[in-house]
Amino acid sequence: MTIQTIVVPDLGGAETVEVIELGLSPGDSIEVEDSLLVLESDKATMDIPSPAAGALVKYLVAEGATVKVGDPIAEIEVAGEATAETPEVEDIEQVVHEPAAEVIAEVVEETEAKVSPVEAAASSSVEQLILIPDIGSDDKVELIEISIAVGDEVAEGDTLVVLESDKATMDVPSTHSGKVLKILVAEGAKLGTGDAVALFEVAGEAAAPIDQQSAPVAQESAPVVAEPENEKPVAKAAPAAAAAAKVTSAADSIQSAPGQPAQPASVAVQPVAATDGASLYAGPAVRLIARELGVSLSQVQGTGPRGRILKDDVSNFVKQVMKNKDAPAASANGGSGIPVVPAIDFSQFGKIEELSMSKIQRLTAANMQRNWLNVPHVTQFDDADITELEAFRKGLKAEGEKRGVRVTPVAFLIKAIAAALEANPEFNRSLAADGQSLIQKHYCHVGMAVDTPRGLMVPVIRDVNEKGIWDISAEISLLAGKARDGKLKPAEMQGGCFTLSSLGAIGGNGFTPIVNAPEVGILGVSKSQIKPVWDGSEFVPRLLLPMALSYDHRAINGGDAGRFMTHLVKLLSDIRYLAL
């Protein structure tokens, strides 16, 4: 028996990383490639695998520690002598991997060299087959997520699909900018380097026509069968030739998203992925377990650093579900114990068609159900008299045109919400995950529900308390535009303290919004209407804005909500108070 010291391997460019998960206990046996611990840079998390079978003697670092390449991190006891395979720093450095940007640039360059004819197309736009670039392995891996839809405008570097092997989850970036004409793969398909993913329309200068580009691909691949755009894509695209060139010096690397470090094959990379404002943040091993158990990670509360989902979180979730399975419906938590809506064959009643839900729609559905089941909602209603506010807003039109900023009532609502949050800090709190304390926030970020063709998105306007109406208006346009174009970055959907959902431009007298947990309050605003209001001596026409405030009754009392709403009504009815 020999004691072997494990050191931090090449980090593909990252100088230092944090130890975020020590998954084993001293004495635990390990197999080759089993995850010893998890490191995290600002871009990726990495499972560090064991180079040999044996048992963990001890960790040499603690969770939260910052380490760099070559630092000793663990000791394992292995049978026989420590071998040359031990990942000493020198050995690992022999397979040093190029930074992702270089790797990707080389892949793209070589791919283009292979697929582009000498004469680039002269037309203004051409069709371009988009292939999987080198993924550092000849193996086929499973496609677990399609991140684009027909009609999307995709920028070079945007995520096309997510692939998952038993070691890593990989975001596959697009090698071209363009519009998605067709998706050639389906979730569950096995894909590898060079396989066709989609057909893009791209600017003509940079790309070659599809018939020329795909020629070498077609020789070794089944024909890409055209299908109607509105049909669910199926895994028809057979493996294409390995058109994407190998990056020889990074042959073992797993390519990550642009700007992220390439990692050794034995280091599993999971980019910090966020999907709906609530990020699904988990390493590949956790994702694998979740998939094996059929657990949707969007339902699991992460207890690791920065909300990372750990193996224990998944197993605790499963335990909780099993515990609640036989409990009476009244004890339902997170959806279990609730009688299931029966599956019905609707075709027996008439013609039907099955429409697949977008990723955003599925995540929204899961979040809504989670929030509806977990949060005891109360909704309070009131009308704000915005007669003067609207007169003032309309008076800003000419200046707005000069500044190129459109001011809608939503900007005043967001500003008023920030002032009401400052005056009523109960609404700027979240319940701690264990339900035993409240987190008071001393920042003021307000989320805004945006209706998009792909589903509901909630970008967040930051530090609203420090901004004026012009800046807020400009941000509303910018973020709502990005949301509609599918261009929001995960960080732009995170950190909200409170959400505004305005259906004012659409219509309706009122609705009861669902709290966007872990926030504790949400304001739903409907269409303003002129109504007769008694002023003490006569009815006068006033413009009234119907508002509904839903809140989490675990964190907020009715009195708090009454005060918040009354304050909001006062601010909107006389916006001079906003200046105080």
Per CB under 6 A, residues contacting ligand CAO are 408-410, 448-451, 456, 476, 480, 501-505, 513, 525, 527-528, 545
CB of 476 to ligand CAO, least distance (A): 5
Pairing status of strand 498-502 against strand 446-448: parallel
Which is closer to ligand CAO, CB of 294 or CB of 507?
Answer: 507
**Contact assessment for residue 470 and residue 477, using Cβ atoms and an 8 Å cutoff:** no
DSSP string, 360-429: HHHHHHHHHHHHHHHS-EEEEEEEEE-HHHHHHHHHTHHHHHHHT----HHHHHHHHHHHHHHH-GGGGE
Q: What is the Cα–Cα distance from 237 to 184, expressed in whole angstroms?
A: 6
C-beta of 458: minimal distance to ligand CAO in Å? 8
Residue located via tokens 């005891």: 376
Distance, in Å, from the CA atom of 196 to the CA atom of 220, rounded to the nearest integer, reads 12
Closer CB to ligand CAO, residue 2 or residue 408?
Answer: 408
Which amino acid, residue 176? H
Instruction: Return the residue matching tokens 């490191």.
Output: 39
Distance CA 80, CA 234 (A): 51
Q: What is the DSSP letter of 258?
A: T
**553 catalytic residue (yes or no):** yes
Of 246 and 482, the one with the shorter C-beta distance to ligand CAO is 482
| DSSP states along 59-102 | ESS-TT-EEETT-EEEEEEESSSPPTTS--HHHHHTT----HHH
Q: Which is nearer to ligand CAO, 180 or 461 (CB)?
A: 461
| Residue 428 to residue 434: CA distance in whole angstroms | 18
Quote the least distance from Cβ 535 to ligand CAO, whole Å. 22
Minimum CB distance to ligand CAO, residue 473 (Å): 8
CB nearer ligand CAO, residue 30 or residue 523: 523
Residue number, 223 or 481, with CB nearest to ligand CAO:
481
Asked whether 413 and 502 are in contact (CB, 8 A), the reply is: yes
Contacts of 370 (CB under 8 A, 6+ apart): 298, 299, 334, 335, 517
User: Which residue number has the CB closest to ligand CAO?
Assistant: 504
Minimum Å gap between C-beta 478 and ligand CAO is 11
Whose Cβ is closer to ligand CAO: residue 304's or residue 409's? 409
Smallest gap, in angstroms, from Cβ of residue 551 to ligand CAO?
14
Residue 483 Cβ vs ligand CAO, minimum distance, rounded to whole Å: 7
Q: What is the closest distance, in whole angstroms, from the C-beta atom of residue 392 to ligand CAO in the complex?
A: 13
Give the nearer residue to ligand CAO in terms of CB position, either 456 or 549. 456
If we measure between CA atoms, which residue out of 209, 187, 189 comes closest to residue 199?
Answer: 209
Catalytic residue among 97, 377, 442, 553: 553
Q: At what angle do helices 469-484 and 409-423 cross, to 10 degrees?
A: 110
SS3 per residue for 147-159? CCCCCCEECCCCE
For the four alpha carbons of 549, 555, 558 and 561, in that order, the dihedral sign comes to: negative
ω into residue 305 within 30 of 0, thus cis?
A: no
Residue corresponding to tokens 């405030």 = 549
Q: Report DSSP state, residue 263.
A: B
Query: Looking at the annotation, which residues are catalytic?
Result: 553
